[in-house]
């Protein structure tokens, strides 16, 4: 009886557990707790956290190449570049480019806020990361989860889970991270600046924007095509007014389905052997650095623009240049309201906010062009 009993015990996962796996359980449970109790990006952090638990269960075979269930989700959904572009389709269906079209100069704030991406790229490379890893870490500064996943899956698959968790975590913590930087870099008088009333945007302009933008951006940076194409198609669904079923499906059912199939395999890439390394853990600090630099750069650019224009921009809008839509715009509005309760900045902030999405995708496309 002893030998069969020992053999049976050997087939269980208990005897194959390692301290690293148990530590990863703790990390997964922390993400699940943050998702449920704090509501930090719950749609992603909850399945990612559960995916981490599953990835660190020995002998489960869930991430076994060719046969594992979660490996199939990862291979056919993320590695084959399906899920991130589909998520961009949904984001596009939610996006209103009206504020950006009404005040086109705000696009520069979305571009300027990408400084954190490039500064962190050079900083990470100086600290010993290779060029592909540095680009993957730097893109976290754009605060755009799908773009981070898209780039990481191509350049640094071994960092995919950690970079995705960092990107979505910092997106969730925008209300905590950004306000101190915004208040430090602006005066009370600057925060009280009221924006000039925007002009009304015609339906024709809204219809032409996704079409013209797709043509120009993809011609300029062809590597950005998968994300830009789907982003602008989703927006065209929204603005056309004749495909409500497609718009609703992109916004709701399809978006919800791909979110499930994104979160689980992302978490499952974070096994103890890969994740619990000093270099991987250090990227969380570099990602935070990138996000802070992006926020500061956007504000600084807005203040610089004010030196050359009579129609002043509220510098807080520069902080909305990161891609955390619409969280960053809401935070700008909240900080502006603290300075002056009659100062409504939300719609103006959406201009650089959506410009930041485009800017981050272009940055990812440039990295892909140069590094692949």
Tokens of 69: 């269930």
The enclosing H or E element of 187 equals none
Residue 300 lies in a domain: yes
Query: CA 322, CA 13: separation in Å to the nearest integer?
Result: 43
Q: What is the pLDDT of residue 8?
A: 66
Residue 54 lies in a domain: no
Residue 62 lies in a domain: no
Q: What is the pLDDT of residue 9?
A: 67
pLDDT at 365 over 90: yes
Structural domain total, the chain: 1
Q: What is the pLDDT of residue 245?
A: 96
Task: Judge contact between 205 and 342, C-beta under 8 A.
Answer: no
Question: Quick one: how far is CA 288 from the chain centroid?
Answer: 13
Torsion, Cα 79 84 85 88, to 10 degrees, reads 180
Q: What is the pLDDT of residue 120?
A: 94
Residue 9 lies in a domain: no
pTM above 0.85, yes or no: yes
DSSP code string of 262-287: HHHHHHHT--HHHHSSHHHHHHHHHH
Q: What is the pLDDT of residue 303?
A: 95
Residue 263 lies in a domain: yes
Task: Judge contact between 136 and 286, C-beta under 8 A.
Answer: no
pLDDT at 41 over 90: no
Query: CA 295, CA 142: separation in Å to the nearest integer?
Result: 9
pLDDT in tens, 115-168: 999 999 999 999 999 999 999 999 998 888 899 999 999 999 989 988 988 888
Residue 303 lies in a domain: yes
Length of the chain equals 372
pLDDT in tens, 239-266: 999 999 999 999 999 999 999 999 999 9
Residue 196 lies in a domain: yes
Average pLDDT over residues 30-52: 91
Residue numbers of the domain that contains 228: 82-371
pLDDT in tens, 62-107: 999 988 999 999 999 998 989 999 999 999 999 999 999 999 998 9
Q: What is the pLDDT of residue 371?
A: 94
Residue 260 lies in a domain: yes
Average pLDDT over residues 185-193: 94
Task: Judge contact between 165 and 44, C-beta under 8 A.
Answer: no
């Amino acid at each position: 009886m002893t030998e069969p009993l020992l053999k049976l015990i050997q087939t269980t996962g208990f005897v194959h557990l390692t301290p690293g796996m148990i530590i990863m359980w703790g990390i997964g449970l922390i993400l699940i707790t943050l998702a449920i109790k704090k509501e930090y990006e719950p749609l992603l952090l909850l399945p990612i956290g559960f995916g981490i638990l599953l990835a660190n269960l020995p002998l489960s075979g869930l991430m076994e190449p060719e046969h594992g269930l979660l490996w199939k989700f990862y291979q056919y959904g993320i590695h084959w570049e399906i899920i991130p572009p589909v998520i961009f389709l949904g984001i596009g269906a939610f996006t209103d480019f009206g504020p950006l079209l009404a005040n086109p100069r705000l696009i520069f704030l979305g571009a300027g806020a990408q400084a954190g991406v490039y500064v962190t790229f050079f900083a990470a490379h100086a600290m010993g990361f290779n060029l592909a890893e540095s680009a993957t870490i730097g893109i976290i500064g754009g605060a755009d989860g799908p773009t981070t996943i898209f780039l990481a899956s191509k350049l640094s698959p071994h960092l995919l889970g950690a970079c995705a968790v960092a990107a979505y975590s910092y997106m969730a913590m925008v209300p905590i991270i950004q306000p101190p930087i915004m208040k430090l870099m602006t005066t009370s008088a600057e925060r009280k600046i009221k924006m000039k009333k925007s002009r009304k945007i015609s339906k024709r302009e809204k219809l032409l924007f996704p079409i013209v933008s797709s043509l120009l951006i993809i011609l300029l940076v062809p590597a950005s095509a998968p994300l830009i194409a789907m982003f602008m198609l989703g927006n065209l669904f929204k603005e056309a007014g004749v495909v409500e079923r497609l718009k609703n499906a992109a916004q709701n059912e399809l978006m919800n389905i791909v979110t499930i199939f994104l979160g689980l395999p992302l978490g499952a890439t974070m096994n103890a052997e890969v994740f619990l390394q000093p270099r991987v853990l250090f990227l969380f600090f570099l990602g935070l650095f990138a996000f802070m630099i992006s926020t500061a750069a956007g504000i600084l650019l807005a203040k610089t623009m004010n030196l050359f224009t009579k129609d002043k921009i509220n510098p807080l809008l520069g902080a909305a240049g990161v891609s955390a839509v619409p969280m960053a715009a809401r935070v700008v509005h909240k900080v502006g309201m603290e300075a002056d309760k009659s100062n409504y900045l939300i719609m103006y902030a959406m201009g650089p906010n959506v410009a930041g999405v485009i800017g981050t995708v272009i940055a990812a496309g440039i990295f892909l062009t140069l590094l692949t």
